[in-house]
Chain A
């Protein structure tokens, strides 16, 4: 150690003028980093154990050698100039990380990326530069690995997103195909229905004419009575059943056509004044509300939405009509329409809350399907309302959900998350 320290000559720590102590020498020797000092001629005068490990040279091999020995060939010329500049310049020390892309060269010719700090000091009028060199190969490798992982992750996210978009597109196309199918089938069903309806009316007309014929005095009384009974009872009953079935079929076909139209009709995207729409819907219900003594009110601000005004009106008309239809007759009916901001994130939900009969939990999963009627005895209809609401909200990129308790009432929430900026469904 002492022998080695001699190599350092009379080096002192700048400012203190204290000779390199045994403690300092010890520090130099235990440091993991390479510590290299050069003199004004760029000759190596100090080379610690860390430097031996980093560069692969034994101290004896490099002391007195040019610093360029430790640099890749391509950097040697520029490096010398930079070192000179630093030596002449006012900066006393430059720390790690201030310079990028510094490389060292090992004895075996291999290169390694390095973090380098340099400082300068003058001893007895002579300038010495000391560099602390840290081999950051591992860190680089780790960073490369992280970058690699990151880009793989990004790729996977992009792939999944693309797959989702594709799935969505397929679903949308499927839905549209279904709607086209429903549309053409229900359209085709109307043709035979027209015959059923038309010819059952023809049969009634024929029956009337038959009855008139039977009024002819030439017809024997017993024949007339039996024929009259056939016409008035048997035929009448058959016709009643046919006409009831025709009526029901017609309603179903109309409902199907209506539902398929909901999905196919062209939207006119615009900022929709939800408040005036709701006011209009409530106004249209005025007579029903007075009769039922129901109290319908808007309980909060209703911000505008981005969507198709006709479709959005259908949503609120269905929800508010349902709320009024299924009020509990045993207590004063109350329906509240409002808007609630979401706890996190932008947007919010409109709600229609009632204190009506409520919906049993086991009915909730099918609530938004077509032809589901939970209270067929309470009100008539084809069970299309909520299916229509669902489809419209869906086309607006929004959600519809319900919270309900039997005997307490239900709250339906809908969102229309689009914005004018995006110009269409989100």
Chain B
């Protein structure tokens, strides 16, 4: 992945309240990257498609994707599968967000290649924990000021 572009977090979440709670807790977890919020899975796929069309260099490349599982039109699991099957996006870590801890759903998510599975409402401690598990991104996320132009260390 090139490090020149603006790194941001893509959040696909249909519920405004949930989206607000996630933003607040990401901020508390020390994540200062921009969060681009889309309202369903189709919009998420459209965003990624746009990014691909413009080329990775110019696009706002997500460094992390947060996917709600239950969304209208295209659900989170379908987005996850598409992201993971495309070599251009398959390396982007994906955190799945859901309202249940149904073990079969958890299993399906990990099977489809998600990095972390979180049950809503997500507290900032869980975000901290999840970001730690994603390891290599922690430092950029912890960068002190604006995310614009921030490059992750090699």
Q: Which A residues contact B (CB, under 8 angstroms)?
A: 187, 190-191, 193-195, 197-199, 201-202, 257, 261
Contact = CB atoms under 8 A, between A and B. Distances in A.
Interface of B: 15, 17-18, 21, 24, 70, 99-100, 102, 120-121, 123
Contacts of B15: 191, 194-195
Contacts of B121: 194-195, 197-198, 201
A274 B10 CA distance: 50
Nearest to A258: B102
Contact of A191 (B24, B99, B123): B99
A191 B18 CA distance: 8
B18 A194 contact: yes
Among the interface residues B18, B21, B99, B123, which one has the most CB atoms of the partner chain A within 10 A? B99
A187 B100 CA distance: 8
Q: Give the 8 A-B CB pairs with smallest separation, nearest first.
A: A198-B121, A190-B99, A195-B17, A198-B21, A194-B120, A194-B121, A197-B121, A194-B99
A257 B99 CA distance: 12
Nearest to B120: A194
Contacts of A257: 100, 102
B130 to A, nearest CB: 17
A313 to B, nearest CB: 15
B100 A190 contact: yes
30 contacts: A187-B70, A187-B99, A187-B100, A190-B99, A191-B18, A191-B70, A193-B99, A194-B15, A194-B17, A194-B18, A194-B21, A194-B120, A194-B121, A195-B15, A195-B17, A195-B18, A195-B21, A195-B121, A197-B121, A198-B17, A198-B18, A198-B21, A198-B120, A199-B17, A199-B21, A201-B121, A201-B123, A202-B21, A257-B102, A261-B102
Q: Classify the secondary structure of A's interface with B.
A: helix
Contacts of B123: 201
Contacts, number: 37
Contacts of A190: 99-100
Contacts of B18: 191, 194-195, 198
A193 B15 CA distance: 12
A257 B21 CA distance: 24
A187 B105 CA distance: 13
Given A190-B99, A198-B17, A261-B102, 15 more contacts: A187-B100, A191-B70, A193-B99, A194-B15, A194-B17, A194-B120, A195-B17, A195-B21, A198-B21, A198-B120, A198-B121, A199-B17, A199-B21, A201-B123, A257-B100
Nearest to A257: B100
A193 to B, nearest CB: 8
Nearest to A188: B70
A257 B100 CA distance: 9
Contacts of B102: 257, 261
B109 to A, nearest CB: 16
A195 B16 CA distance: 9
Among the interface residues A191, A194, A197, A202, which one has the most CB atoms of the partner chain B within 10 A? A194
Contacts of A198: 17-18, 21, 120-121
Among the interface residues B24, B70, B121, B123, which one has the most CB atoms of the partner chain A within 10 A? B121
Contacts of B70: 187, 191
Contacts of A193: 99
A168 to B, nearest CB: 28
A199 B17 CA distance: 8
Contacts of A187: 70, 99-100
A197 B89 CA distance: 34
Nearest to A193: B99
A194 B70 CA distance: 13
Contacts of A261: 102
A329 B32 CA distance: 57
A287 B154 CA distance: 52
Contacts of A197: 121
Nearest to A190: B99
A38 to B, nearest CB: 89
